[in-house]
Chain A
Amino acid sequence: MRILIAGAGKLGYKLAEAFSNQENSITVMDSNEQALQRVNANLDVLAIKGNAVQIDLLQRANLRNTDLVAAVTSSDEVNIVVCLIAKKLGCKRTAARVRNPEYAKQLDFLKTELGVDYIVNPELETARYIAKYLLKGTVVFIESFADGRVGMLDLGVKNIPELVGKKLRDVNIFDSILVAAVAREGEMIIPHGETRLNDGDTVYLFGRRENLQRFVADYFPSAPRDRRVAKSAMILGGGRSGYYLANRLRQNGVAVKIVEKDEAQCQYLVENLQDVLVIHGDATDSDLLREENFAQMDALVTLTGGDEENLLLALLGQQQGIPLVVAKVSRPNFIPIIEQLGVGRAVNPVLISAGEIIRFAQGGKVASLSLLLDGQAEVIEIIADEEAAVIGRRLAALDLPKGIIVGAIARNNEVIIPDGNAVIQPQDRVIVFCLHKDVPVLGQLFYRRKEGFFRGIWHSQKDSGKYPQD
């Protein structure tokens, strides 16, 4: 795939990183020299300096041969204009980041009239994700796939003392549950029978949802057996994601308090949200928090602009015994630390949005995609295509790389946790865990044919001279 990414900020970088493999050729555009240098130093992509709304620059990037333009600059307007121009210049598909709630209300117009095929709103996605956690989750959050039949659970080993120090082979509590990966000190490891679990590890488990729920119920006796649904929530930071989240929680009958520093923003929230208590004040002011019964909340969500503030406030909440704590952390390099700090749940808007755009880029065959641990691994739900190379062959015969693990296969009404003898059939929903470096192999197996030695160059040639150059 040929992809142009406008904007080399956090999301642009993450996208370029996630897309960059042997199958894709990626161009990143930004007017900031330093951002480009970071891209250039770490990724095998072409970095072009310049504002992406300059038509001559876009022309030189050969948009007619480009499969996707992802406009993720800091400005909504620029992103929309980039998509508009790109479409006019012949690009196949466009995606834009649009975060302003006012624009979010007219998404249909943007899509039909302005040529933006896909719009990702990081704040809205983040809010959705958090709401899902707060409203459906137990203390341990099970991510669901295949219409909720298959689940994935990330579990800190230290929560179950009997696991610490054991070899995986000797662990027998994971009945019909697959251990796909272990995150250790910020790195994703594919375990085998001899892998010993440390107390700082996080394990990623796949299984039927009910099995996972039973597992959680057995090993977390402190947690109520029924689903804990938050009745009250406090949101620290009333920015865009705070607004979306409050709206969503309120619609589900949760009593929401928002603490926001900026008076004008408070005014905006009051005008646009009904039945939400908006408090004008500093979230770091402990007196204020105590006054507002901080410790008695069911849930605490920290959504201020600063990652550090969010983390510290979340830790404070954790210490006060708030059952559900969520912190927003945008910077990817903090994620390994968060694992160790033991904050209830950290959500990363950048990873969530990147996952959404990648899913869109892969087309209709990918039902869902989430990036794990700073994008080191992906969990993808793919609807198996009849033409794909995986169809009709035993998994053991496919010679899958170590980094690709077929976690579950959902077929009609049954869920299979596969072993080497399992065979994937057309229309199966396959939930695959995949390390980033093996994504190209995944592509070859599930939806694309391999490129030859010269085809790549030939593709970059055949469009030469379609536009008057320079």
Chain B
Amino acid sequence: MEFGTVRKILGNILKIEAALMAVPLTVSLLWREASAMAFTWSIIITAAAGIALGVGRVEIKEIKIREALLIVTLAWILVSVFAALPYVFSGTIPDLTEAFFEAVSGLTTTGATVINDVEILPRGLLFWRSLTSWLGGMGILLLMLTVLPSLGVVGLQIYKAELPGPTADKLVPRLADTVKILYLVYGGMTLLQTILLLFGGLSLYDSLLFAFATVSTGGFAPYNTSLARFSANSYVIIIMSVWMILSGVNFGLYYDLWRGRWRNAVQNSELRFYLALTGISIVVVMWNLWPRVSGSLFESFKHALVQVSSIITTTGYSSADYNQWPDFSRSVLFILMFTGACAGSTTGAIKLIRVIIAGKLIKREVAHLLHSRAMVPITVNGYVVPEETTRSVCAFLFLYFALFAAGTAVLSLEGIGMVGAASAVAAALGNVGPGFGAVGPAHTYSQFSPWATVLLTVLMILGRLELFTMIAIISPKYWKQ
């Protein structure tokens, strides 16, 4: 184990984080807020920790998958710990576990909050909260790869561990270039949405914050009522929904579009499945809501559009308290909490490519029942899926549901009802944010006891890193030489 290299890389990440905290500090200073002190201290402490970790002459050595797994896990924990400092120092969230929860919720793009009234928060702090989502959306380590492109294969392992999806394909030969392209797409989408929201009458500050939380599919809103505040402004509602849906698409496909390979993008089976699933869900929810919940068909459509796109992309915005909706709509939304959107996007949960592969595996089993010696390949987009991938998909699905079941059982001890417990675990594991029942959009996560808060925090990181990275670290096998 090359601990020196691990230490050095972690130190670099913290230095980058300290530099990024200068952005909310600037916001604080612009509004002359007292939170500026909180950021100043956070920057000093984070930078000091970063420098301390990087102390001494350590040559960055070629590392293996073992070190990469450790780097990714530790980086996410460390960055979250230091991201929680501004909440603590400003007195917004004095409780340490809750501050850590809020930081993790931001970085993992979950969007669950322990703050009961966000509207009284200093602007600098709200900005930091949304910025953490944006940073975590594409990956904090990937950001580092664009700044320090010299990591070579180290970077590749990190890319594999941090980019969502069962396989991590590069867009261009060099990893650093691939990551730059992804960040360009990401930044471009954020910028475009900010501009479009400005046209919708939002202030620059609000536009930026909503764009951060939408493109990263985080779901933090600077208002207690989330998107319900804009229910009269159909333009904003539709821009938000469209951008949520766009953020659920594999970012590599945007690169294909840019290069003129539009057929590659249009014929992508995961994209088609994603759009079909979103469309059908919107229609059935709309049909279920109208006319019982809202009077006009257009109102129902808007609610269905926002809520379906918010849950399937694991963003977690709400335009109404969907907890009050009919059971059928709630069931549809509950299912979407598990599917997630496309691999290679900023969304959480299982990802549709895994659902597609699992579906084809079932089809193959049926074919084997009928023709016991038939060779049936699993193909996606015309390419045969390697057996290792299908195997890892099966294991992932089982582990995901096992964690969901175990988590639900444990969280039920909190006495928030089974629906509340189950949806809280699903929302944390899938990085969605709000759930149903006691954790519905009208509630926050401040009601939990410290141990339950920690459990949900761990589930969020597990879900963001797609389970195996962290599971590998805590397995005894990992530490045996």
Query: Which residues of A does B touch, CB under 8 Å?
Result: 2, 20, 22, 25-27, 33, 42-46, 49, 453-454, 456-457, 460-461, 464-465, 469-470
Contact = CB atoms under 8 A, between A and B. Distances in A.
B182 to A, nearest CB: 11
A453 B183 CA distance: 13
A379 to B, nearest CB: 22
A229 B33 CA distance: 86
A465 B259 contact: yes
Interface string B150-162: 1011011000000
A33 B386 contact: yes
Interface centre among A44, A49, A461, A470 (most CB of B within 10 A): A44
Contact of A464 (B150, B155, B259): B259
Given A457-B181, A470-B264, A45 B259 contact: no
Given A457-B181, A457-B184, A27 B173 contact: yes
A469 B173 contact: no
Interface in B151-208: 152-153, 155-156, 170, 172-177, 180-181, 184
Contacts of A464: 258-260
A42 B176 CA distance: 15
Nearest to B180: A457
A46 B172 contact: yes
Interface centre among B174, B176, B260, B263 (most CB of A within 10 A): B174
7 smallest beta-carbon distances between A and B, as pairs: A465-B260, A25-B173, A46-B173, A464-B259, A469-B261, A25-B174, A460-B172
Interface centre among B155, B184, B259, B383 (most CB of A within 10 A): B259
Given A457-B180, A457-B181, A25 B172 contact: yes
Contacts of A453: 180
B180 A454 contact: yes
Contact of A44 (B155, B184, B260): B155
Interface of B: 149-150, 152-153, 155-156, 170, 172-177, 180-181, 184, 258-261, 263-264, 383, 386
A33 B384 CA distance: 11
Contacts of B260: 464-465, 469
B177 to A, nearest CB: 5
A159 to B, nearest CB: 31
B177 A25 contact: yes
B261 A460 contact: no
B121 to A, nearest CB: 35
B206 to A, nearest CB: 30
Contacts of A457: 172, 177, 180-181, 184
A470 B181 contact: no
Contact of B173 (A45, A454, A461): A45
A42 B63 CA distance: 10
B183 to A, nearest CB: 10
A417 B184 CA distance: 49
Contacts of B184: 457
A268 to B, nearest CB: 41
A57 to B, nearest CB: 13
B264 A26 contact: no
A114 to B, nearest CB: 27
Contacts of B153: 42-44
A22 B148 CA distance: 11
Contacts of A465: 259-260
Contact of A460 (B149, B156, B177, B264): B177
B263 A470 contact: yes
A292 B50 CA distance: 70
B150 A22 contact: yes
A42 B64 CA distance: 9
Nearest to A454: B180
B149 A22 contact: yes
Contacts of A456: 174, 176-177, 180
A464 B257 CA distance: 10
A20 B155 CA distance: 14
Nearest to B156: A44
B388 to A, nearest CB: 8
Given A44-B152, A470-B264, A461 B177 contact: no
Contact of A469 (B152, B174, B263): B263
B154 to A, nearest CB: 9
Nearest to A453: B180
Nearest to A36: B386
A46 B159 CA distance: 14
A465 B173 CA distance: 18
11 contacts: A20-B152, A25-B172, A25-B174, A44-B152, A44-B156, A44-B173, A456-B174, A457-B180, A464-B260, A470-B263, A470-B264
A470 B259 CA distance: 12
A456 B177 CA distance: 7
A184 to B, nearest CB: 16
B173 A26 contact: yes
A31 B177 CA distance: 25
Given A25-B177, A454-B180, A456-B177, A469 B264 contact: yes
Nearest to B263: A470
A456 B261 CA distance: 20
A125 to B, nearest CB: 27
Contacts of B386: 33
A313 B175 CA distance: 44
B14 to A, nearest CB: 22
A430 B115 CA distance: 66
A401 B403 CA distance: 49
A46 B152 CA distance: 13
Contacts of B259: 461, 464-465, 469
Interface centre among A25, A42, A45, A460 (most CB of B within 10 A): A460
Given A22-B150, A33-B386, A44 B174 contact: yes
Contacts of B174: 22, 25, 44-45, 456
A26 to B, nearest CB: 5
Contacts of A45: 173-174
Contacts of B149: 22
A195 to B, nearest CB: 16
Given A22-B150, A33-B386, A44-B153, 5 more contacts: A44-B173, A49-B383, A454-B180, A456-B174, A457-B177
B116 to A, nearest CB: 43
A409 B382 CA distance: 56
A465 B264 CA distance: 13
Nearest to B61: A437
B317 to A, nearest CB: 32
Nearest to A468: B260
A262 to B, nearest CB: 37
Contacts of B155: 44
Contacts of A20: 152
A469 B177 CA distance: 22
